[in-house]
Structure 1
Amino acid sequence: MHSLEDILKHPSEYSFCNIKVLKFYKCADLTCIFTVNVASSLTKLERLTVSQCPLIESLVKVDNSGANKAIKLLNTIFEVVALGVRDSEFNNESQTTVVKLPKLREVDLEEVNGLLYLWETNEWRQLELPNLTRLSIHNCYKLRHVFTTSMVGSLMQLQELHVTHCTYMWEIIKKDDDSQRKVLPCLKSLKLEHLQYLQAFCLWDKEFMLPSLTTLVIKQCPSLSVFTNGFVAAPKLKVIETNEGFIDLGEQDINSYIITHKQEEDNYDLWHIQTEGESAEGQSNLQMMNQIKNC
């Protein structure tokens, strides 16, 4: 493996446009992986792994304005052999610019604790990942969503989506458009585990189709109250793996099961509080809580 110093001294000897695999490990100074122009040049990139890079806030940054010295340096290296696309070409807000990583198949993100989003989305810039088949995100506690609804149309090959130990994850797919229907045609496996504040897969009130989904794991997601706010169809899904084990859906859809299960949990919690309140210890705890409340 060539060192960063070697690459800097002899950049013309390296062809970054042909890169297929990129791994970033313990890069303490990086705040993003690519700027838009660099991402656009990586037309053969197939696999991206980022691990233990605590300051990264976004994988792809719209421009260099907020980039630190290290990422500017890294992007300068890529630009030496890039396709000649400059950041200034992406700053024209009179038309929508599509940034595509056409060959990217697998992405692994682990312990990227500063990660806020994969892509700084806005109405003028869109990211497309047409061949992404697997995305695994683990222990990225600041990340609040994975995709936006406008990105779903490009995820035609996505088969596995696993998100675990992301404390502040609010929803997996965030609404940012008003289309009537979304489809993830190839998604087979969806695993959501240890997501403390997850509210839903998508807080979207339109139709969501998951025709290939056969594996759904939902564990340690105590705030989950609904899968989507609209109709969801997953005709091949028969069983959900949960904290209680494997649950046969029977005639229920995903939404019906989650809503019913949440209501049962809430009723149990209410009963537990009421029962505890009748005991001497419970009375003491309630008194202490009231004292704290009145302070």
Structure 2
Amino acid sequence: MLKRLQSLQFLKTADCSSLEEVFDMEGINVKEAVAVTQLSKLILQFLPKVKQIWNKEPHRILTFQNLKSVMIDQCQRLKNLFPASLVRDLVQLQELQVWSCGIEVIVAKDNGVETTAKFVFPKVTSLRLSHLHQLRSFYPGAHTSQWPLLKELKVRECPEVNLFAFETPTFQQIHHMGNLDMLIHQPLFLVQQVAFPNLEELTLDYNNATEIWQEQFPVNSFCRLRVLNVCEYGDVLVVILSFMLQRLHNLEKLNGKRCSSVKEIFQLEGHDEENQAKMLGRLREIWLRDLPGLTHLWKENSKPGLDLQSLESLEVWNCDSLINLTPCSVSFQNLDTLDVWSCGSLRSLISPLVAKSLVKLKKLKMGGSHMMEVVVENEGGEGADEIVFCKLQHMVLLCLPNLTSFSSGGYIFSFPSLEHMVVEECPKMKIFSSGPITTPRLERVEVADDEWHWQDDLNTTIHNLFMRTHGMY
């Protein structure tokens, strides 16, 4: 039996409805030294009665120094993954994924761990925890954990656990507060030293918390983070607080959705205002979805603003309280796609100054916003003030019941690359623009599926569509 366990390299156990334990070593009588197993990958799926993977002290018989990947799914009675004494063997572990289990702690207490436990996972690069509704802590006691090579961290639907904390209360503090249950509810990650120095992707989805970050985090924490996904995350008001701007200087993609309490994406006030404008210089994509409380991406009066000159895609959908998309002075010199849908409080989309910066914009989509009156707001510019959308090829204006024109100002608009344009369900749009406009490559305007119109030029076409809609021919 022991020899077979030693030579085992890959174990997948699935759909065994009566299995209660995976490794039962209590019957093995070992006289020789502890053996080393070759097991490198462990997959357990759909084992509804499994209560534990290992018996309490497997390290007395076998060590698991070659284990690289652990994937556990649909084991509803499983309360923990590893006994604490086994963790020291996991020096080769690279991937840990746990879904839809009854897990209460990742590491369970045993007799071989000191009072303040320290767990090190030197080679783990991917950690995914999903739908663990009973998870309360990483370890039920005072501890620290280190993840020096972790690149991907995804925590989804773990509502009973706090993810990050700078410190935990002492036993004396907990006893004084009369809440001994707090000994069990330890944070998933205790950040006392530099945390996640190599983390590149962080996904937080449906976790009950009032904040993501803490100001006490060491400065170099999260310094390589490139992708941040925040979805249905507790009562968070601001996605990126001002003190995190310095730490997230490598951020490239930001995705926020279904966070009902979020009012602001970036907070700029109160911290290193002289340098914060440069902190997000690598951000390329911002995708915001279903944020009903969002009023602005950052406050208009924040000086200086953000450096978003690397931004290539800005998509904002279903943010009904949004009153302005960006401050008037922001520059989007590399923006390729601007897509704004169902943001009912917007009366205009961008300022003339922002419009002038959109020299690389190729796609402009605007729709479903019932208060929108113009796309480019009128700031009283000079009649000869020209705005050129050099690269714009596709423009969509859809379901905008109060849109009267693209701009009511006297600006000169030029669209040298515009080839495809949709104007649909915009009943109050009388004219495209009150100033001169050139569209040398545009030959027709789509007004419905497989229905196109064109007469002379864009202004004439839009005006005739208005007359036709209101029966004024």
In structure 2, the residue corresponding to 1:23 is in which secondary structure? strand
Q: How far off is 1:223 after superposition?
A: 0.9
Q: Which residue of 1 aligns with 2:433?
A: 228
Gaps of 5+ in 2: 1-152, 156-161, 165-211, 224-247
What is the correspondence of 1:1-295 to structure 2 with a 5 Å cutoff? 1=153, 5-6=163-164, 8=213, 10=217, 12=219, 13-15=221-223, 16-36=248-268, 40-62=278-300, 90=303, 99-121=306-328, 126-179=329-382, 180-243=385-448, 245-250=450-455, 252-268=456-472
Supply the RMSD in Å over aligned alpha carbons: 2.2
The Cα of 1:5 is off from its aligned counterpart by: 4.1
Distance in 1 between the 2:325 and 2:342 partners? 14
Following superposition, the deviation at residue 39 of structure 1 comes to: 5.9
Does the 8 Å CA contact 1:35/1:62 hold for their aligned counterparts?
no
Correspondence for 2:172: none
| Structure 1 position 40, deviation (Å) | 4.2
Alignment partners' CA distance in 2, 1:39 and 1:172: 26
| 1:210, distance to aligned residue in structure 2 (A) | 0.6
Q: Indicate conservation of the 8 Å contact 2:381/2:410, yes or no.
A: no
Tell me, in whole angstroms, the C-alpha distance in 2 between the residues paired with 1:28 and 1:39. 27
4+ runs deviating over 6 angstroms: none
Report the 3-state secondary structure (helix = DSSP H, G, I; strand = E; otherwise coil) of the residue aligned with 2:376. strand
Amino acid at match of 2:398: E
Q: Matched residue of 2:433: which SS?
A: coil
Closer/same/farther in 2, CA of residues 244 and 2 from structure 1, 3 Å limit: closer
> Counterparts of 1:175 and 1:100 in 2: how far apart (Å)?
25
Deviation of 1:237 after TM superposition, in Å, equals 0.3
TM-score (norm 1): 0.73
Q: How far, CA to CA, are the matches of 1:26 and 1:261 in structure 2?
A: 37
Is the partner of 1:117 in helix, strand or coil?
coil
Is the Cα–Cα contact under 8 Å of residues 241 and 247 in structure 1 kept in the other structure? yes
Deviation at 1:230, TM superposition (A): 0.9
* In 1: Cα distance, 2:340 partner to 2:371 partner: 13
Q: Name the CA distance, whole Å, in 2 between partners of 1:109 and 1:187.
A: 19
Q: Which has the larger radius of gyration?
A: 2
How far does residue 166 in structure 1 lie from its aligned partner after superposition?
1.0
The number of residue pairs the alignment matches comes to: 233
Higher relative contact order (CA 8 A, sep 6+): 1
Letter in 2 for 1:217: V
| 1:40-61 per-position Cα deviation (integer Å, ceiling 9, x unaligned) | 4100000001111111111121
2:62 corresponds to: none
Sequence identity percentage: 21
